[in-house]
């Protein structure tokens, strides 16, 4: 676009070309921003992360472990307790969560075996 403008018509033509170029660049930028916005949606991020079976399995183990840990803390300590009981409850919660997450395969086998015996 490096050309010499000699008269009013050349100036008008150059302005029209620049405006057209600006509109095209603006449309490209808008489309790229829209794509980035869609990719950064929490649900889309979660779908991409959980599309891998290994990640999904690890996430499931951690969630189950944390759930069991919270449940065990609430059963053993209760909701309202002193500072010492809260600290002990948190240690129990994270200890049980780690234990369950690391041994989920064994726990699953044991649970399946118990269900087969009961039914």
Residue among 66, 58, 50 at smallest CA distance from 98: 66
DSSP codes joined into one string, the chain: ------SHHHHHHHHHHHHHHHHHHHHHHHHHHHHHHHHTSHHHHHHHHTTSHHHHHHHHHHHHHHHHHHHHHHHHT-SS--HHHHHHHHHHHHHHHHHHHHTHHHHHHHHHHHHHHH-
Instruction: Report yes or no on whether pTM surpasses 0.85.
Output: no
Instruction: Kindly tell me if the per-residue pLDDT of 96 is higher than 90.
Output: no
Question: Looking at the predicted structure, is the pLDDT value of residue 108 above 80?
Answer: no
Rounded mean pLDDT of the chain?
Answer: 81
Could you state, in order of their start, the residue ranges of all structural domains in the chain?
1-40, 53-118
**Residue 106: pLDDT band by 50, 70, 90 thresholds?**
confident
Say if residue 1's pLDDT is above 60.
no
* pLDDT for the residue numbered 30: 95
Rounded to an integer, the average pLDDT of 13-21 is 94
Query: What is the model's pLDDT at position 67?
Result: 78
Nearest to 64 by CA among 114, 111, 116, 118: 111
Closest CA to 76 of 89, 91, 94, 95: 89
Query: What is the pLDDT, as a whole number, of residue 12?
Result: 93
pLDDT, average across residues 38-45: 84
Would the pLDDT of 89 be above 60?
yes
Nearest Cα to Cα of residue 93 among 59, 70, 74: 70
């Amino acid at each position: 676009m490096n050309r010499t403008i000699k008269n009013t018509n050349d100036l008008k033509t150059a302005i029209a070309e620049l405006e057209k170029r600006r509109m095209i660049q603006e449309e490209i930028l808008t489309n790229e921003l829209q794509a980035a916005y869609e990719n950064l949606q929490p649900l889309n991020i979660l779908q991409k992360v959980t599309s891998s079976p290994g990640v999904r399995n690890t996430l499931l183990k951690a969630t189950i472990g944390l759930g069991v840990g919270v449940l065990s803390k609430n059963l053993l300590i209760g909701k309202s307790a002193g500072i010492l009981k809260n600290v002990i409850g948190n240690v129990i919660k994270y200890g049980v969560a780690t234990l369950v997450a690391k041994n989920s395969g064994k726990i699953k086998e044991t649970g399946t075996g118990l269900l087969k015996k009961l039914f």
